[in-house]
Structure 1
Amino acid sequence: MKRRNRRVPFSSPLIPWVILMVAISVSAAPANRQPSPSLLSLGDDGRQGNAFSVRPEISADGQVVAFISMASNLVTDARPGLNIYVRDVGLETTRLAYRDAGAIGAVDTDPTISGNGKVVALASTVGIGFHTSARQIVLVEGDERDVVSRNDDGDVSTGQSVTPSLSFNGRRVAFVAVAENLAPGCSERFSAIYLRDRATGTTRCLSVGKDGQPADGASLQPVISADGMFVAFRSAATNLVAGDTNGVDDVFVYSVGEATLRRVSVGADGAQAEGESSDPSISGDGTNIAFLSRAGNLDRRAMNGEYAVFVRDLSNSTTRLASVSSKGKAAETFSGQPRISADGRYVAFLSPSSVLAGKRSNGKRQIYRHDLSTGDTILVSRGHDALPGNGNSFQPAISANGQMMAFRSAASNLVKEDTNLTDDVFHITLPVSDR
């Protein structure tokens, strides 16, 4: 099978993340009853958005959420069309993430937020020192703006730059670009993965062939660990590692410290996946990586040809199926959009599976959270009536300890008096276990 090539002053990053993990782990107590979600895509006055809200991204402590919305009534100074917002869960405030983007014709996409909740990154056609049809990666930190899709000389990318991913403190940024001037080693023909270090002002190419030659296929979907030392991504390239002969997209991880690449989408025995793999999500220390795969040889329970969620533990070279019920039964249909908590314990994902929903199943895509320690899988998109959401839910985001989540849903029964008849962003606090 042929691959489909697609064009398309800092402190240590690890210490504050570890401190945060300890703090929220201590504060998290098991609960006897699972709560229902709350509506998050609101104005300061509690007004529901008058148009759809999507693509939530959550901070490590779960208290800050960035999202995209077409709503014009969340703030008073929103420009017409799509805007990126930041919602403070505790303060119940909503603000524009990027006020400079108010120019007519500006396009802002791909929001993400750093683990400490202080830095928002996005792809935009309006930034500092440029106004072009090619999107660039813009970082917003307080009143400061920084365009990071640049080379070591400070020149902005000659092509599109999209899908940023931030380390915990926002020092390092991984992103996708199709460019000829960012860093040596990346192909000018295909989208490639880059890493920008804001402290040193350097940019390096990560998706480089094993022999130092440019990758022979497109690379996409970068995600960086909280400590900034590992970047996982999807690639159609065949020359990133030795023995890549399966003819489909794989998931890889780059070690920043060692400047090495390894393939993630393999079985416990190291066998390469027999089906396409994609959508990586990485734990805070880079040890555990969740991903999707259609391969039937990674776990005997997986349905061959259907996307399932797997977790690769790099510390012990194991691959586990995560899209399973609390009894360990695999979803009988597709699962998608996996997100792993920074502590590597919880995996969130979507699925319309009746195996996961049980007798309550209504055929809609629901959000689930699977506990890799206990094996428990719980329904997250659960209505105030204790029934699964009556509309499709997508795009889960999960806090560092897995206790808080945000997600998008078209369901109208998640909260009482959801009257805007469109997709909203929801937030939920879930029980966690000490086991």
Structure 2
Amino acid sequence: MRRSRRWVFLTAALATWAAAAVPAAASGGQQPRPRTERVSVAADGTQADVASHTPAITADGRHVAFLTRASVFVPGTPRGRHLYLKDLRTGAVERANVSEDDNPDLRWVYEYSLSATGRYVVFASAAEEMGPGHVVDKHLYVRDRATGRTEPLLDDGRPGGAGNPVISADGRYVAFDSPRTDLVPGGGKREYQVYVHDRVRHTTRRVSVASDGAAADGFSHLPVISADGSEVGFLSVADNLGTAGGPRPAPRDTSFYVHDMRTGRTRPAAQRQDGTPAAVVTERSLTPDGRYALFCSSTPGIVTGYTGTVQQCYAKDLRTGVTRMVSLAPDGAPADGHTSAVVMGADHRRVFFTSWAHNLLPGGAGEFSAVYARDLRTGAVERIDVAADGTGADGLAGGTSVDRSGRVVAFESWAGNLVPGDTNDTGDVFVRRLT
């Protein structure tokens, strides 16, 4: 049996309205048939010899990025965990964590994000691999693929580290978390907080703050960002970010909040119906327009009628304040297994998530996690990790990312039956093109 990996979901910046248009449907009124392609192969088709994982697709659907230690993609690549981009039109593969001076600090990439067209890539990297009991500061870099330049995001040379970067569609704004105390005046104690750096004005702003501007009174991390950079979501254990019910008893769970960069308002995005915070460990995202906050939680009482503790996925409309469960079967029943990695297309039509549930489609999903799409208008559910004949993956799948159109989905899987010739017996990155 193939080994499981911990799926890392990062959201990436998924949309920009100035990006290249989505290709039109085939002539003659025919819709292209759905198909699955393997992304994590070299330009000549050579398979990776170790796992590839953590995919992200650009908003225009042209490039898919992923992380891997494999050495087959670019000749002469030094040992490390590298970030690659695959051009889905040409098949070309390039390494993004490179610099003019072959900086060794770029060899181990941990998190990354793509601008809408993939011109800008921001990533967190270190010279050494971090392991148990071994702390290495990560630093942030931005690569401009048009100019070929890679530069530090915070060009000050100071220690302290930063991570989990996410970039706006145009590449101007980067949100990240850091324990540094010198990024803004009155930086406070050494505790992770969330910041946004404006690459045009060269300014940094703390966004893990209450609506009155007070810094969050607990650690905050794992940001997500809307396409235009105006909305930034993050997780926090703080008590002063607008949740009802007063201070929470220790140990406090992280919950999901969204900060409006224009108004300074911070709102809870994950709550029970009584207004108290719902626990969100890692699973969170924003739609490109920032209207919907998506999250997964095992907290009961988030929506009427559901008191179970199976982790479900939800979408909160930040305009109306309404939260709905989205990890549902076609008959409206909640998923009967753990769900995670929820994202939504820019048109708000489909949601995508990973689940171990057996009731989402007839016959279930077998013994592995699978990736699903749910149509929010019709309630129809479709499995994403399938072969050309519709056969489900024979290995774990997850790590979902979707383009602006909501029709090209990137995911990772340890299956060997999704495409012909998959014989490397390890994790790969795939795309599924929907109708």
Q: TM-score, normalised by structure 1?
A: 0.86
SS at match of 1:17: coil
Pick from 18, 21, 24 the counterpart of residue 22 of structure 2. Answer: 24
SS at match of 2:420: coil
Matched residue, 1:68? 67
Is the helix fraction higher in 1 or 2?
A: 1
Whether 1:397 and 2:401 are equivalent positions in the alignment is yes
Pick from 362, 371, 375 the counterpart of residue 358 of structure 1. Answer: 362
The answer to which of 188-197 and 221-230 deviates more is: 188-197
Q: Which runs of 5+ in 1 are unaligned?
A: 1-12, 127-131
Contact (CA 8 Å) 2:173, 2:229: kept in 1 or not? yes
Matched residue, 2:109? 108
**Structural mapping, 1:237-276, within 5 Å:** 237-243=238-244, 245=246, 247-266=252-271, 271-276=275-280
Whether 1:407 and 2:411 are equivalent positions in the alignment is yes
Matched residue, 1:195? 196
Cα drift, residue 430 of structure 1: 0.8
Whether 1:139 and 2:142 are equivalent positions in the alignment is yes
Q: What is the letter of the counterpart of residue 264 of structure 2?
A: A
Cα drift, residue 25 of structure 1: 8.3
Q: Which runs of 5+ in 2 are unaligned?
A: 1-12, 128-134
Question: For the residues of structure 2 that align with 1:404 and 1:138, how far apart are their CA atoms?
Answer: 27
Question: For the residues of structure 1 that align with 2:313 and 2:30, how far apart are their CA atoms?
Answer: 26
Cα drift, residue 191 of structure 1: 1.1
Matched residue, 2:291? 287
Cα drift, residue 236 of structure 1: 1.2
Matched residue, 1:55? 54
Matched residue, 1:3? none
C-alpha change, 1:340 and 1:411, in structure 2 (3 Å) is same
SS at match of 2:216: coil
C-alpha change, 1:242 and 1:350, in structure 2 (3 Å) is closer
Question: For the residues of structure 2 that align with 1:316 and 1:270, how far apart are their CA atoms?
Answer: 17
Question: For the residues of structure 2 that align with 1:186 and 1:396, how far apart are their CA atoms?
Answer: 35
Cα drift, residue 404 of structure 1: 0.4
Contact (CA 8 Å) 2:271, 2:278: kept in 1 or not? no
Q: What is the letter of the counterpart of residue 24 of structure 1?
A: V
**Structural mapping, 1:61-210, within 5 Å:** 61-100=60-99, 102-103=102-103, 106-125=107-126, 133-142=136-145, 143-148=148-153, 150=154, 154-156=155-157, 158-184=159-185, 186-209=187-210
Cα drift, residue 422 of structure 1: 0.2
Question: For the residues of structure 2 that align with 1:162 and 1:365, how far apart are their CA atoms?
Answer: 28
Question: For the residues of structure 2 that align with 1:366 and 1:425, how far apart are their CA atoms?
Answer: 14
SS at match of 1:339: strand
Matched residue, 2:430? 426
Matched residue, 1:229? 230
Question: For the residues of structure 1 that align with 2:242 and 2:265, how far apart are their CA atoms?
Answer: 10
Whether 1:341 and 2:342 are equivalent positions in the alignment is no
Question: For the residues of structure 2 that align with 1:427 and 1:210, how far apart are their CA atoms?
Answer: 40
Cα drift, residue 274 of structure 1: 4.9
Cα drift, residue 188 of structure 1: 3.0
Matched residue, 1:310? 314
Contact (CA 8 Å) 1:226, 1:342: kept in 2 or not? no
Cα drift, residue 357 of structure 1: 3.6
Alignment coverage as a number of residue pairs? 407
Cα drift, residue 239 of structure 1: 1.6
Q: What is the letter of the counterpart of residue 22 of structure 2?
A: I
Kindly provide the CA deviation profile for residues 230-283 of structure 1, in whole angstroms up to 9, marking residues without a partner as x: 00111111122252545532110010111121111135x673345446422111
Cα drift, residue 107 of structure 1: 2.1
Cα drift, residue 306 of structure 1: 1.9
Q: What is the letter of the counterpart of residue 81 of structure 2?
A: L
Cα drift, residue 32 of structure 1: 7.0
Q: TM-score, normalised by structure 2?
A: 0.86
Matched residue, 1:9? none
Question: For the residues of structure 1 that align with 2:232 and 2:23, how far apart are their CA atoms?
Answer: 25
Q: What is the letter of the counterpart of residue 374 of structure 1?
A: T
Contact (CA 8 Å) 1:158, 1:180: kept in 2 or not? no
